Chains A and B, each alone.
Chain A
Amino acid sequence: MSSLMLTLRESMRYRGRSGHWSWLAHRISGLAILGFLVIHVWDTANAFFYPEVYQWSLAVFKHPFFGLGEIGIMAAVLYHAFNGIRITLLDFKPEWWKYQQKSATIVWVLFFVIFIPIALLMFSNIISHCSELAAEGASCWTIPRLSDFLQ
């Protein structure tokens, strides 16, 4: 346990300047995507195996908490994709290593320029979903119960 704490602390420590932050963000976003992906894949398979359970999970995922998580996953996918291109290009084009710092900055700028409008759109979807439910006298904060979906 103490070695895990040491690993986490040392991983976070500022060492390699911009490249270190890119490396850390790539790692964390990758792990976050995989964590989500495992749930997402096994859940979507339920559309075939247990359609009632799948429909319940779709309702659960409309909860604002999951909506915010979805925005987080969008951020992770976009950053991981853009930084992944950078890693691949630099791996195959050593002549471009002199642009390491510049390319790391470009990836961050590209990420924010594309992510921010998307995040705002996704956030507005959550808000309109909640206000639609509120207009019907329901609440988007209620967590759906599985028993309501099983026939």
Chain B
Amino acid sequence: MTAVSGTSEKVTRRAVQLEANFERIAYLGMRMSGIVLLVLAVGHMMIQHVLNSSTNLTIQFVAEQWRSWGWKSYDMLLLIFAFSHGINGLRNVLSDYIHNDKIMKGINVFLAVFLVVTILWAGFAIARFDPAAIQ
């Protein structure tokens, strides 16, 4: 990590040692997952909502895609990255406006549980989806 000072003309960098606490990891995680999502989420929007269209989407089309483990993995990764990025983003926004530690702690616990339950529920659905069961 570098600390930065100086005017916009001259930037001085010096190395600083930061402890690897949760907030710092979450901060870096938002940047890293953001880069991953640039490919996964924008790719998903282009493939499913531009090249294909919701106006002719059917469960048979979904079954056709989820016949391949490639698509299943893509959607699984998208689920994990997008949901955790989004939930952490919401946590950041809320912590900007809620200054009561007790309330914020309760919200954090709720969001963490919601994140895990959602990923397990939807991840289970993607993993176990059987295209043969769809006519």
- When distances are taken between beta carbons in the complex, the residues of chain A under 8 Å from B134 are 51
**Knowing A7-B97, A67-B54, A94-B4 touch, does A74 contact B45 (C-beta < 8 A)?**
yes
| Chain B, range 84-128, C-beta contacts under 8 Å to A | 86-87, 89-90, 93, 97, 118, 121-122, 124-126, 128
Give the A-B pair count, Cβ closer than 8 A: 109
- When distances are taken between beta carbons in the complex, the residues of chain B under 8 Å from A122 are 49-50, 53
Interface size class of B (residues with CB under 8 A): 35 or more
Total residues of chain A contacting the partner, CB 8 A: 46
- Decide: A41 and B87 in contact? CB cutoff 8 A: no
- Decide: A118 and B50 in contact? CB cutoff 8 A: yes
- When distances are taken between beta carbons in the complex, the residues of chain B under 8 Å from A128 are 55
- Decide: B58 and A58 in contact? CB cutoff 8 A: yes
Report the minimal beta-carbon distance from A138 to chain B, rounded to whole angstroms: 14
- When distances are taken between beta carbons in the complex, the residues of chain B under 8 Å from A70 are 49, 54
- Decide: A48 and B49 in contact? CB cutoff 8 A: no
Q: Does B77 contact A (CB under 8 A)?
A: no
Stretch at the interface among A14-22, A81-89, A102-110: A81-89
- Decide: B35 and A41 in contact? CB cutoff 8 A: no
- Decide: B57 and A78 in contact? CB cutoff 8 A: no
Smallest CB gap from B58: residue in A = A58
Q: Does A33 contact B (CB under 8 A)?
A: yes
Report the minimal beta-carbon distance from B112 to chain A, rounded to whole angstroms: 15
Report the minimal beta-carbon distance from B48 to chain A, rounded to whole angstroms: 10
In-complex Cβ contact of A42 among B37, B45, B86, B118 (8 A): B118
- When distances are taken between beta carbons in the complex, the residues of chain B under 8 Å from A7 are 97
5 A–B pairs (Cβ distance < 8 Å), ordered by A: A45-B124, A45-B125, A48-B128, A66-B54, A94-B4
